[in-house]
Structure 1
C-alpha cells in the first residue's frame, strides 16, 4: 500500500524551498502525477534528528530527504538511505556521471553503493565587496595606513588589517562577519579551514583523528582572537548561523566573509540583496608556511530506505537533477551542481563569478568519512565555543577534546 502523501524533508532555506516547490509542480505536470506532497523545511539539527537519529528515513516517514555529505556515511551505515545503483543502472540521470565534477560524486559512493545525487554545492571561499576594494579613495587611504595596495587578502595578517580598515559601526559596516552559532557545523568548518591553511591536518600519519597538535593550537589561538576582535567583526556573529551571516553580508553589513559560495551567488539573485553587482569571490587566505584551502561539503537528494514510493522518488530525483532543473535551482538562489550550470552564459551574466566554482573545487578538501564524525563535530564545536567564552588555554582545550574524541573512536 503506497503512502497517500509523498513526504520530503527539506533543509530550511528560502531558495531550496522555492526551487523544490517549482520542480515538484513541473514534475507532476509533465508526468500527470496527482499524489499529495508534504515538504517540511527544517534547521540542520532537526533535519538530522528526524531523518537519521529517529530513523525517519529507515521507517518510511520520509520518501526523499536533503542529506549533506557530513552525514551520508552515517546514514548509509545505519541503512537509512536507499542505494541507488540498481536504479541508475536501469535509467541513469541525464549525462551521469560526466555532467558533474568528480568532487561532487565520491562522498556519496560508499562500499560500492551510490547513496544520493548532488543537489546543492558551493565550496567555502572568501566573499568580498569588490566595490569597496576597487574604490579609489579607499585604496588611497588604505595604502597610506598600511603601506601596501588594497586587494583581497592573501594572508590572515592582511585579512585582519583589511577587516579593521573597513570596520565602521556608525555606517553599519563591519570588516567581516562570522557564523559562530554552535550548531555543530559553522565553527567546526572554520576550525578545519584555519587548520588546513596553517599546513595542519585533522589526521596524523597513521590516519587517526588527532587535533592535539601545534598547528591546531595556533589555529585555535588565532580564531578565538580574530572572532573576538570587536574592531574588525560584526557584533551579530556570535548568534549567526551560516544563513544569517550570509544574509547580513547580502544586506551590505560587511566588507568580507568566509562562507559557502552559495551565499555569494545569493547576493545577485535574491530581492532583498543590497549588494547586487558589488560582490566577488576568491580563495581563502593562509598563514606563513601554509597554503589556501577550501572545504567541500555538499547537499544530496536521498531516498528513504523505508519509502513505499521509491520508484516515484527516483523518477523525481532524475527530473530534479537535469541541466534545466539545476539551472532553475541556481536562479532561485541555490547552487547548481552541474558543470553545464557553472559555465552557463546566462548564469554568469547574472552571477559573474559563477565559473570560478571549478577552480575552487581544485583546492577543496573533505572531512574524514567516519560514522562517528557527527559526534566528533559536536566535540570540536563545543571546544571552539569554550575557546570563545573562556580563557582556558588552547593547548588544554585541544588536549581535553582529543581525549573525548578517542573515547568515541
Structure 2
C-alpha cells in the first residue's frame, strides 16, 4: 500500500486540520494514496527529520519545520528548494497574500524552502474579565495607587501577577513555560533582553549575550519564575502547549505566550475563558520599547521524497485562503492576511486583526547554522538560573565562553 508520510508538530489543532485537509485534497483530485501522519513533540520532530536525516532518506515526504530550524535544514540539504515549483505553479495569490514577515526566514541562498503554515508572534495574553472587574480595579488602585490595566512595564507585570495570585481559587497571577526543551525559556530570555534594549548580536554580527541588558534580563526572569506569589506552581513542567492549556482552563490571569494560545481560548471545547481573553504588547523597560518574537511553522518537502510533485500539490492546497481559515477554526493560527481580517474569524476571536500590529514589532532569531546549539546553551543557562543561586553575570560569562567555542 502506497503511503505519503507527514511529520506533524504534536498539537491537536494541527493534527485535526491536516487530516481534514488531506481528505479534502484527495476527494477534490481523485487521489487514492493514504497519508500517514505522525505527531511528534518538538525535540523528536527535529531528531526525526534533521538529525536522523529522515527528510533526506525518504522516511518523511512532508514535515512541519519551524523557522528556528529551517536554516539548518536547508544547509543540510534536507528540505526541497521550492523555487522552480512556485515559478511554474504558484500558491494562491503568492506572495501578496502574506505579510512580508512570514516570507523571509525560509528564503535562504536565493532559494525558498517552505510555505507558511502556522504563526502568531509572542504577546501578553490576559483575562479581560478580571482586568475590567470594578471591584478588582478598586482594590488594585487602593493597593498600588495606579489604574489596573495591562502592564506596560515588567515591574507592573510582577505587581499585577501577585495581586491576582489566588491559589485557593486555583487562579495564579501568571503562567510560564519553563520545561527545558531548547525553546520556551530561550524565547523568554530573548524577549526579556529585547524589551530592555539588549541584542543577541554585537556590532560584528557575532552572538554575544555577555552584557548589562542580559544580566538585567536573566535577573528579572529567574526572580519572576521562582516567585511563588505570582506564578503557577506547575510552570517548571509546562511547555508552551501545557502553559497555554492552563491559561485556557482559567488557571492564570496573564501569560506571555504565542498569539495562537489566545485564539485557541476562543475555539477549543476545553476552554473556560471564551469571551474573556484579550491580548496586548509585551511589557518593557521604561526606557525601551516593546518587542515580540516571530517564529513560525512551515510546510516543507523532503529532498528524499519520491512524491515531491504530489507533496507540492498538497502544499498549494493546504495554503489556500479556505485551508488557512480552516486551520484557524480548528485552533491553529492562519498565516494569510485574508484570515487576519476575516469577518467571521474576528467575530469568534475579536482580537484576531491585531496580528498585523504584533508583526510590526516582531524580531527574529539569528539565522546561523549554529543557532540550535546556541539555543541549547541558553536553555541550560536559564535552567541553571532557576535552580541555583549562581549570579546571573557568572552564568552569562560561562555561557558566552561556551558559545565562543562553537563559533
Pairing 1:223-238 to 2, within 5 Å after superposition: 223-238=221-236
Q: 1:198 matched to which residue of 2? A: 196
Q: Secondary structure at the match of 1:57?
A: coil
Could you tell me how far 1:5 is from its partner in structure 2?
1.1
Q: Distance in 2 between matches of 1:37 and 1:20?
A: 10
User: Out of 59, 62, 79, which is 1:61 matched to?
Assistant: 59
Residue 249 (structure 2) pairs with residue 251 (structure 1): yes
Q: Distance in 2 between matches of 1:295 and 1:169?
A: 30
Q: 2:162 matched to which residue of 1? A: 164
Cα displacement string for residues 336-363 of structure 1 (whole angstroms, at most 9, x for unaligned residues): 0000000000000000000000000000
Could you tell me how far 1:273 is from its partner in structure 2?
0.1
Q: 2:339 matched to which residue of 1? A: 341
Q: 1:153 matched to which residue of 2? A: 151
Q: Secondary structure at the match of 2:56?
A: helix
Q: Distance in 1 between matches of 2:227 and 2:25?
A: 49
Residue 305 (structure 2) pairs with residue 307 (structure 1): yes
Q: 1:364 matched to which residue of 2? A: 362
- Single out whichever of 195-204 and 287-296 deviates more from structure 2: 287-296
Q: Distance in 2 between matches of 1:35 and 1:23?
A: 14
Q: Distance in 1 between matches of 2:351 and 2:328?
A: 13
Q: Secondary structure at the match of 2:236?
A: helix
Q: Secondary structure at the match of 1:61?
A: coil
Q: 1:82 matched to which residue of 2? A: 80
Q: Distance in 2 between matches of 1:175 and 1:292?
A: 21
Following TM superposition, where does structure 1 have runs of at least 4 consecutive aligned residues deviating by more than 3 angstroms?
none
Cα displacement string for residues 168-206 of structure 1 (whole angstroms, at most 9, x for unaligned residues): 000000000000000000000000000000000001111
Aligned residue pairs total: 407
Q: 2:107 matched to which residue of 1? A: 109
Q: 1:26 matched to which residue of 2? A: 24
Residue 208 (structure 2) pairs with residue 210 (structure 1): yes
Q: Distance in 2 between matches of 1:205 and 1:108?
A: 24
Cα displacement string for residues 231-283 of structure 1 (whole angstroms, at most 9, x for unaligned residues): 00000100000000000000000000000000000000000000000000010
With normalisation by structure 2, the TM-score equals: 1.00
Cα displacement string for residues 311-369 of structure 1 (whole angstroms, at most 9, x for unaligned residues): 00000000000000000000000000000000000000000000000000000000000
Q: Distance in 1 between matches of 2:372 and 2:286?
A: 31
Q: Please list every run of 5 or more consecutive structure 1 residues that lacks an aligned counterpart in the other structure.
A: none
Q: 2:276 matched to which residue of 1? A: 278
Q: Please list every run of 5 or more consecutive structure 2 residues that lacks an aligned counterpart in the other structure.
A: none
Q: Distance in 2 between matches of 1:292 and 1:274?
A: 29
CA RMSD of aligned residues (A): 0.6
Q: Distance in 1 between matches of 2:61 and 2:90?
A: 19
Q: Distance in 2 between matches of 1:359 and 1:317?
A: 27
Could you tell me how far 1:37 is from its partner in structure 2?
1.3
Q: 1:388 matched to which residue of 2? A: 386
Q: 1:316 matched to which residue of 2? A: 314
With normalisation by structure 1, the TM-score equals: 0.99
Q: Distance in 2 between matches of 1:188 and 1:178?
A: 12
Q: 2:4 matched to which residue of 1? A: 6
Q: Distance in 2 between matches of 1:224 and 1:172?
A: 23
Could you tell me how far 1:36 is from its partner in structure 2?
1.7
Q: 1:132 matched to which residue of 2? A: 130
Pairing 1:85-104 to 2, within 5 Å after superposition: 85-104=83-102
Could you tell me how far 1:288 is from its partner in structure 2?
2.6
Q: Distance in 2 between matches of 1:393 and 1:52?
A: 36
User: Out of 323, 339, 342, which is 1:325 matched to?
Assistant: 323
Q: Distance in 1 between matches of 2:53 and 2:232?
A: 39
- Single out whichever of 285-294 and 80-89 deviates more from structure 2: 285-294
Q: Distance in 2 between matches of 1:98 and 1:196?
A: 29
- Single out whichever of 212-221 and 317-326 deviates more from structure 2: 212-221
Cα displacement string for residues 58-85 of structure 1 (whole angstroms, at most 9, x for unaligned residues): 1111110000000000000000000000
